[in-house]
Amino acid sequence: MMASTTSSAAVAGALFSASKPRGSAACPRVPAGRRRASCVVRCDAGVEAKAASIAALEQFKISADRYMKERSSIAVIGLSIHTAPVEMREKLAVAEELWPRAVSELTNLNHIEEAAVLSTCNRMEIYVVALSWNRGMREVVDWMSMKSGIPASELREHLFMLRDSDATRHLFEVSAGLDSLVLGEGQILAQVKQVVRSGQNSGGLGKNIDRMFKDAITAGKRVRCETNISSGAVSVSSAAVELALMKLPRSDCLSARMLLIGAGKMGKLVIKHLMAKGCKKVVVVNRSVERVDAIREEMNDIEIVYRPLTEMYEAAADADVVFTSTSSESPLFMKEHAQVLPPVSDAAGGVRLFVDISVPRNVSACVSDVGHARVYNVDDLKEVVEENKQDRLRKAMEAQTIISEELKRFEAWRDSLETVPTIKSLRSYADRIRASELDKCLQKIGEDALTKKMKKSIEQLSTGIVNKLLHGPLQHLRCDGTDSHTLGETLENMRALNRMFSLDTEKAIMEQKIKSKVEKTQN
């Protein structure tokens, strides 16, 4: 089956290649001399390309039966803290405001219908609906390589790829916090929600991806509510605080001088967890004072001292622990910065701690080469996660039951969508026959022999007969997707009707998708 799928996909690939404009990634690069050719030559080339696209489409129709065996796949491809070091993840990170642009670029790829990007400090994952699994994955890997500057061969050593139910289950586990560095962390659920909000604002999410992410949010909420998996350290920020306090001498951990650089969402959570652990004071360096003032109003049990970004190094000189959480694309602290900072007191352990929870990193790894400094990044938080591991694993097993229920519901919904094109095709087929036979009847009777009322009555009669005949078959094609037994029967009815009436629904759908891709590429 895979062999036939690949050869048929090659036909579709030929179609896409023929339709891409000159100079694109899938076509030979146009020499500089030819780029200076006349408009007439370019127009002729465009006409030739269009003709080639039409010819390729005709060839595709001939071989489409084999290609139909490869149903459009939901897939996820990416890397996470489990598969790739922070050095690689930060090169692939996509800022939230750039998610819509990334989705647009991905859906412009030849074999990608829908897409979504989930980029956090711990993961960079791309969810897609692909016309072809093999070709679609290759296109996404090439896109990731182009964006990051990392060779595709190197990327593949760290990427994971999952398909259909495995891909959906993975997203549900991510949303539930089961794939996080800290089991049950709540921040990832908010990030999954933000993918949906971003897609709704930009109109970028397709039907399948949108429903999958919304069901993942439901699964995440249920897991946290029904298993209490989020008790304890449940976010990168809380784990960062626990790690810092763990590394400080026990007698001085609460009186240590704390500095936070960056007052965004992650930074705010750091302050919250420091307060929860009993810390009484934290210095916050930020570009503006307004955000710090808002946090200060919300948290009354901890003293928050603001210092502007221009005083960052002076503030670091007075700190025992430096938390960094900014969106800076380049490190804020290099080895030379740490070298000039005064040593901390022996009461605080004699070592200044840099806890960097940013991706890209705010503190260079070479800072640890300074004798009185230690750097910890998101990868080092695993030490905190190991505590209470057994209790979290038990809760994770309970969560899998919930995820399986939500996964079954989503897959039933997706399967039920298969009958919709058959319903439309059968209705269209019957209406064409009705209209043709009605026209013959009216011609035999003669236009002058019938009044408008009589014509309307005859037309209503033909429509009524068709509706009565279609009622039974259409009833057996409708399914809400909640009953697996009914769903199985519905899908078998769909296949039987496709065979009996030669509807070729799946082929027609695929041809329409290919045509849309060709037109989009040409435009």
- pLDDT tens figures, 215-225: 999 999 999 99
Of 241, 244, 228, 246, nearest in space to 267 by CA: 241
Q: What pLDDT does 71 receive?
A: 59
User: Rounded mean pLDDT of 364-383?
Assistant: 88
Look at residue 330 and tell me whether its pLDDT is greater than 80.
yes
The residue count of the chain comes to 523
Alpha helices in 386-451 (DSSP H): 389-416, 419-445
Q: What pLDDT does 490 receive?
A: 64
Q: What pLDDT does 19 receive?
A: 38
Between residues 340 and 184, the one the model is more confident about: 340
Q: How far apart are CA 265 and CA 288, in angstroms?
A: 15
What pLDDT digit, counting tens, does each position of 3-27 carry? 333 333 443 444 344 334 333 333 3
* Catalytic (active-site) positions: 121
Q: Which helix (H) or strand (E) element contains residue 48? A: helix 39-67
In contact, 469 and 501? CB cutoff 8 Å: no
- Which one-letter DSSP state was computed for residue 28? P
Residue 209 tokens, joined: 């991806």
The band of 204, judged by pLDDT with boundaries at 50, 70 and 90, is confident
In contact, 355 and 324? CB cutoff 8 Å: yes
Residue 104 tokens, joined: 């647009």
Look at residue 32 and tell me whether its pLDDT is greater than 50.
no
Q: What pLDDT does 41 receive?
A: 44
Between residues 473 and 125, the one the model is more confident about: 125
Q: What pLDDT does 488 receive?
A: 61
Those residues whose C-beta lies under 8 Å from the C-beta of residue 198, and which sit 6 or more positions away, are: 96, 99, 100, 204
Q: What pLDDT does 291 receive?
A: 93
CA 152 to chain centre: 20
Half-sphere exposure of 237 (CA within 13 A, CB side): 22
Residue 458 tokens, joined: 């005859």
Q: How far apart are CA 230 and CA 276, in angstroms?
A: 16
In contact, 109 and 136? CB cutoff 8 Å: yes
The two beta strands, 73-80 and 160-163, are: antiparallel
User: Rounded mean pLDDT of 44-54?
Assistant: 56
Q: What pLDDT does 257 receive?
A: 94
| Beta strands in 236-365, from DSSP E residues, in sequence order | 258-261, 281-286, 303-308, 321-324, 352-356
- Poorest-pLDDT segment among 329-338, 349-358, 452-461: 452-461
